[in-house]
Amino acid sequence: MIAYVTVGVDDIALAEQFYSAFLPALGYQLEKYHGDLSYILPRHPGQSGAPVDFYVKSPFDGCPASAGNGTMIAFEACNQEQVRTLHAAALAAGGSDVGQPGFRDAYGPQFYVGYLRDPQGNKIAVFSSNPDEPGRDG
C-alpha cells in the first residue's frame, strides 16, 4: 500500500500557490512543517486503509529539484466538470498545460483526464472515471 508521495521543488511558495489551487477541492488539508508542505486527506473511523498523503518538499540533499521523466501523480476528481475546473485553477496558479481535459483513445471509455506540469516540471493528472457520466463513445 502506498502511504505517501513526495515531489521535490525549489520554490515552496510557488508550489503552494499551484497545489493549493486544486488539492483542497479534492479534500486535502494543507499542513506546513519546517517550511515544507503536507497535503493530508482526513482519516475516517472504520476506514479500510489509510489515504495517501502528498508532500511537497525541498530536496534533502540540497541539490536542485528535478522532475522525473515518466513520473506522474494522478488525483481523482468526482466528475468531468471538476476535472475541467481544477485543471483551469491549476493553470491559473502557475501550472502549464500538457493535455487539455478530455478522453484519450489509449484509455477506457470513461477515463476523462487533464494533464499539467507544476511550476517545477512535475507531471500531474486530474481525472474522473465516473460511470454515471457520458463516456468517450456516448
Q: What is the mean pLDDT of residues 34-61?
A: 90
Domain ranges of the chain: 4-58+67-128
DSSP, residue by residue, 76-128:
E-SSHHHHHHHHHHHHHTT-EEEEEEEE-TTS-TT-EEEEEE-TT--EEEEEE
* Residue 104: band (very low, low, confident or very high) from pLDDT cuts 50, 70, 90: very high
What pLDDT is attached to residue 3? 84
> Is the separation of the CB atoms in 98 and 55 below 8 Å?
no
Pair type for strands 29-33 and 36-40: antiparallel
C-alpha cell at 137: 463513445
What pLDDT is attached to residue 48? 79
Q: What is the pTM of this model?
A: 0.90
Q: Does domain 4-58+67-128 have CATH number 3.90.1150.10?
A: no
What pLDDT is attached to residue 10? 96
